[in-house]
Structures are given as C-alpha cells and as structure tokens.
Amino acid sequence: MDINKDLVAATATPLVLAILAEDDSYGYAILKRVSELSGGELQWTDGMLYPVLHRLERQGHIKGRWGTSETGRKRKYYHLTAGGRAQLAVQRQQWQLVDAALRTIWPAVSLPMRSALSPLPSHG
C-alpha cells in the first residue's frame, strides 16, 4: 500500500520517540524498526529520518552521542531525554484521540468497494 506522504510525516515524531523509548538506537536500526513495526509497509529513507532526528535533538527530546559499532565504524546513537518521554506521552494522547475518533466514525460511513487500480469517481 502506498501511504500518503503527509500521514508518514505526521507519524514520524511519535514513531521515533517510541522506538527510542524501547532502547537507544542509531539511524539504520531505526529505519529497520519502522519497517518491522509496519510489516514492511513504511519504508523510510535516510533523507526522511535524519531531519526528524536533528529536529528532535534541537528540541531537546533526544540526545545523540558518537560511538563505535561492532565493526569499528563511527555511529551516532540516540537516546530519549526526560523531555522526550514527556513529549512521547503528549504524542500518545493526541494519537489516541485521533484513533478513537476515526474508529468511531468509520463504521458509520459506508464506502464503495473498489480495486486499488480503479479510478476514483468524479464529482461534478
């Protein structure tokens, strides 16, 4: 399924914060974890992830430190700060409200069944 770019962008902050709440991590491992969590449906790129990491670091929600991987390469590891944990709690509440609203309205709305290849009906 091709997930809308706006939806992917909106979920980036809570996903990164939640992944770092599990354990410290680095860019490539975060990309792999997002893919795992979404059953392979979300395929983030470096160009999408690193601006999010840099913004979260500027905001004080995460902190990076340089370390060395098992192979000897330098790697930046990120961990969640206390402020990041608080922000994750806020994000979680907001997403739970959105989820509850959608789950309430979707059963009441009948949608026409269509194949992914069928064009959308025109209105007009």
* Three-state DSSP class for residue 73: coil
Regions of the chain where pLDDT drops below 70: 113-124
For the chain, domain boundaries: 5-93
- CB contact set of 22 (below 8 Å; sequence gap of 6+): 33
Please say whether the structural domain 5-93 has been given the CATH code 3.50.50.60. Answer: no
Phi, psi (rounded to 5 degrees) for 25:
-155, 175
Residue 112: the pLDDT is: 74
Distance from the first to the final alpha carbon of the chain: 28
Cα 71 from Cα 122, distance rounded (Å): 56
Count the alpha carbons within 13 Å of 59 in the hemisphere toward its beta carbon.
18
